[in-house]
Amino acid sequence: MKVKNLIIGAGVTGLSAAYHLQKLGKKDFAVLERAAEPGGVCASVTHKNFTFDYGGHVAHARRAYTRELLKKLLGKNAALIKRKAWVYLQNTFVPFPFQANLSYLKPEIVEECVTALVAARKHKKHIFENFADFALSSYGEGIYKYFMRPYNEKLWRAKAEDLSCVWCADFVPQTDMEDIVKGAYFKTRASYGYNTDFIYPKTGGIGALARALAAETENIFYNTEVKKIDAVKKMVFTNKGIFEYENLINTSPLKTFVSACGGLEKNIYEAAKELKNNKVYVLNLGVNRAVENISWVYFPEDKFKFYRAGVQSGFSPSVAPEGCGAPYVEISAAGNSKKPDFKKLEKEITAALKDAGILKNEDKILAALWLEINPAYVTYDARREIVVPQIIAALKEKNIYGVGRYGAWEYSFMEKNILDAKELAQKL
Ligand SMILES: Cc1cc2nc3c(=O)[nH]c(=O)nc-3n(C[C@H](O)[C@H](O)[C@H](O)COP(=O)(O)OP(=O)(O)OC[C@H]3O[C@@H](n4cnc5c(N)ncnc54)[C@H](O)[C@@H]3O)c2cc1C
């Protein structure tokens, strides 16, 4: 088959590219997806009458365009939900963002954090060497020690000093000193950041969004896995045959894409080998009780194996049978680590969730499903900042466009993916 625009992947990015090409009347495209269904990381899985997602997956719609698109796609199935998020530290639920709600902690910790904050802000920098430098300079030793460092090192599986901070603007709520001090002495329950409210489908899990987008899009080839790309002849080799293209839109992981792509300069293959990532294991649980209506909780402490736990049935009760609940936990692991002992881990996790009061001793586990996301978070080390632009530019010279969380090898979210793919469709 020969098309003008060929898209690898039917996750939200690939679907958005196709949807917007089609809207522009440019129907000469095809989407190749190795799975049997759309969604990628944003799919949902049905298991023992529960609908499970790949970890906490909610749609942010900060831009009017995305809000309208989500409304159009989901229609009456869209629910607008207010975030109910906490940080669990020293047996206490501190409202998120941590730095704006210190008053929930012991007075001596509050004092330590506020004193360090005031000292840090005296010499506040505007250019930072790495994430540790950014967090220390912005929030001081106390907030850094109790939350910023342990949480981020657990999530990224990298040292705070080895992480850049280019991702922080979108993901770390920026907090004025006045707000931190106010929140240190009064229970203001300040709530801000990029996801204070979000959209989630009333039924069908987050996968309903990808399915709605796919339903509006033609020319999707499922069960079609890209094995090799010839960047010179502009051909893609799949288990279903050969596709020729003028432009190739890649949303599959950049690292594996480059290794499967023939016809690039040698230094690009070397550069791609430097890309690092973590992987995330999600344990989805189905329990015989409607678990408390919380969105999610961040766990910075080492004694908890997971960095975040949440309750999917808090976003939408319909993901669980009536009277039941669906909590989940997300565990990060190094990209090259071996699979853990899931049975053992499951026991430790249910005990830890009981410890934190998210599960109760009498709760019965009706379903347990592990899902793996690999890659999950791309590692923002100093080399990423150099090699990703090199690789993306080299591919662009061959009319190959890397877009999306994994195609552009970035820390991004569905709204950005949808908008970036729309912009690319318009350019092409
Ligand atoms: C734990 C976690 C929680 C998250 N929570 C949120 C959240 O709450 N809100 C939010 O907005 N974002 C969230 N995100 C980010 C969000 O999941 C991604 O930004 C988004 O799903 C990326 O979509 P994508 O289409 O770019 O990539 P993907 O979803 O990875 O899609 C790529 C597609 O390409 C296919 N593919 C790969 N290789 C091949 C091949 N060789 N041949 C054919 N097909 C191939 C895959 O099967 C897949 O369907 C989260 C991410 C993680 C890891």
pLDDT 10s digits, 233-253: 999 999 999 999 999 999 999
CA dihedral (273, 156, 66, 251) in degrees, to 10, reads: 20
pLDDT digits (tens, 9 = 90+) for 336-388: 999 999 999 999 999 999 999 999 999 999 999 999 999 999 999 999 999 99
Question: What is the reported pLDDT for 293?
Answer: 81
pLDDT digits (tens, 9 = 90+) for 157-201: 999 999 998 888 777 777 788 889 999 999 987 776 667 899 999
CATH 3.40.50.300 correct for 2-42+203-275+380-427: no
Residue 124 has pLDDT above 90, yes or no: no
d(CA 14, CA 250): 8
| Percentage of the chain exceeding pLDDT 90 | 91
d(CA 44, CA 59): 14
Instruction: Report, as an integer, the average pLDDT of 406-410.
Output: 98
Question: What is the reported pLDDT for 33?
Answer: 98
With a 6 Å cutoff on the Cβ, whether 408 touches ligand 1 is no
With a 6 Å cutoff on the Cβ, whether 206 touches ligand 1 is no
Residue 410 has pLDDT above 90, yes or no: yes
Q: Calculate ∠ Cα 163-166-167, nearest 5°.
A: 85
Question: What is the reported pLDDT for 76?
Answer: 97
Mean pLDDT of the chain: 95
With a 6 Å cutoff on the Cβ, whether 34 touches ligand 1 is yes
Determine the straight-line distance between the first and last CA of the chain, rounded to whole angstroms: 20
With a 6 Å cutoff on the Cβ, whether 308 touches ligand 1 is no
Residue nearest to atom 5 of ligand 1 (CA): 57
Question: What is the reported pLDDT for 168?
Answer: 82
With a 6 Å cutoff on the Cβ, whether 402 touches ligand 1 is no
Pick the CATH number of 85-185 from 3.30.519, 1.10.10, 1.10.3110, 3.40.50: 1.10.3110
Question: What is the reported pLDDT for 370?
Answer: 98
Question: What is the reported pLDDT for 125?
Answer: 81
Question: What is the reported pLDDT for 191?
Answer: 72
CA dihedral (197, 198, 200, 205) in degrees, to 10, reads: -100
Domain boundaries, the chain: 2-42+203-275+380-427, 85-185, 278-373
Residues whose CB is less than 8 angstroms from the CB of residue 369 and which lie 6 or more positions away in sequence, other chains included: 45, 47, 50, 52, 283, 284
Residues whose CB is less than 8 angstroms from the CB of residue 181 and which lie 6 or more positions away in sequence, other chains included: 114, 117
Instruction: Report, as an integer, the average pLDDT of 123-151.
Output: 92
Question: What is the reported pLDDT for 236?
Answer: 98
With a 6 Å cutoff on the Cβ, whether 33 touches ligand 1 is yes
> Per DSSP, which regions of 119-274 are E strands?
197-201, 220-221, 226-230, 235-238, 241-250, 261-262
Question: What is the reported pLDDT for 194?
Answer: 65
pLDDT digits (tens, 9 = 90+) for 100-109: 999 999 999 9
Q: Which of 44, 45, 54, 57 to mutate to test the pocket of ligand 1 (most atoms within 8 A of CB)?
A: 57
Residue nearest to atom 34 of ligand 1 (CA): 9
CATH 3.90.660.50 correct for 278-373: yes
